[in-house]
Amino acid sequence: MSKSHNVNSMGYKDRGAATLYRLSHNLYIRNWKVLSKLVKYANTMLFRCFIPGQAKIGKRLDLPHGGFGVVMHEDVVIGDDAIIFHNVTIGNGGARIGDRVTIGTGVIIIGAVKIGDDAVIGAGAIVTKDIPANATYVGQLGRLLNK
């Protein structure tokens, strides 16, 4: 069992937003791109969850709060058994997220970062650098731009 979680022992259930993502992704890879976009828009309208069909997400994606407020760029790759809480943004740049990663509420991931297997990212964190496997990452990054 991993440090962060074991999805199967937590009663994993594929909820609506993840199901609509899977449908959108399957339509996209079959080159039914217009229908894929329509399903993505339905996901946005019904669940306030923006996951394009081009994103590559592994098995058993868990969105415990129904995917509310989750926004992903189309070049994101996420491994198996990921848990992503609400109001998470995974921006452009080609983020690569490993297996069994837990991403807390309000996390922002920007750029071509790599997040290792079994990592845990705490609520409100801003991730702009790689996170190694089995690590716990918390806190916000900040920098004074003007005095």
- Each residue of 37-88: pLDDT tens digit? 999 999 999 999 999 999 999 999 999 888 899 999 999 999 999 999 999 9
80 CB contacts (<8 Å, ≥6 apart)? 58, 59, 60, 99, 100
- Model confidence at 121: pLDDT above 50: yes
Q: Is residue 51 part of a domain?
A: yes
For position 46, which CATH number holds?
2.160.10.10
Structural contact between residues 78 and 102, judged by C-beta atoms closer than 8 angstroms: no
Answer yes or no: are the C-beta atoms of 100 and 76 closer than 8 Å: no
Is 122 among the domain residues?
yes
pTM as predicted: 0.85
In a domain, 145, yes or no: no
How many structural domains are present in the chain? 1
Range(s) of the domain holding residue 103: 14-137
Domain assignment of residue 2, yes or no: no
Q: What is the mean pLDDT of the chain?
A: 87
- Residue 100 lies inside a defined structural domain of this protein: yes
Instruction: Band the pLDDT of 142: cuts 50, 70, 90.
Output: low
* Cβ-proximal residues to 36 (8 Å cutoff; 6+ apart), any chain: 24, 25, 27, 28, 53
